[in-house]
Amino acid sequence: MVVVFISLSLGSHKKSSLIFVNLASHWSEVNYETNPCKGSNYGGCQQLCLPNGLNSHTCKCNTGLTKNNQGECKAGTSFLIAVMYNALQGFSLESNDHPEAMVPLRMQDHFIHFVDTYKKENYIFAASIDKGIMKFKPDGSKMETVIPQNSNQFGILAVAIDWLAGNMYFRNAGVKEQVLEVSRLDGTHRLVILEDLFRSINGICVNPIKSVFLTMEAIGNMCAAT
The CB-side HSE value for 199 (13 A sphere, CA atoms) comes to 16
Instruction: Give me the domains of the chain, ranges plus CATH numbers.
Output: 3-60 (no CATH), 107-225 (2.120.10.30)
Q: pTM for the whole thing? A: 0.67
Distance between CA atoms of residues 221 and 86, nearest Å: 27
CA angle 96-99-100, nearest 5°? Answer: 150
Exposed (0-12), middle (13-18) or buried (19+): which is 226, by Cβ within 10 Å? exposed
Instruction: Identify which of 108, 105, 203 has the alpha carbon closest to the alpha carbon of residue 157.
Output: 203
Local confidence band at 145 (pLDDT 50, 70, 90 cut-offs): very high
Distance between CA atoms of residues 181 and 194, nearest Å: 7
Q: Phi then psi for 188, rounded to 5 degrees?
A: -85, 165
Instruction: Identify which of 61, 77, 63, 65 has the alpha carbon closest to the alpha carbon of residue 117.
Output: 77
Mean pLDDT for the chain overall:
76
Residue 197 has pLDDT above 50, yes or no: no
Question: pLDDT tens across 50-105, in order?
Answer: 888 777 888 888 877 777 878 788 877 777 888 877 888 888 777 787 877 787 88
Least confident residue range of 1-10, 24-33, 39-48, 176-185: 1-10
Distance between CA atoms of residues 195 and 205, nearest Å: 17
CA–CA distances in Å: residue 128 to residues 103, 169, 185: 20, 14, 16
Distance between CA atoms of residues 67 and 78, nearest Å: 15
Provide the pLDDT for residue 91: 84
Contact 173, 156 (CB under 8 A): yes
* Residue type present at position 106: R
Exposed (0-12), middle (13-18) or buried (19+): which is 201, by Cβ within 10 Å? buried
Question: What integer is the mean pLDDT of 135-150?
Answer: 87
Question: What integer is the mean pLDDT of 184-201?
Answer: 80
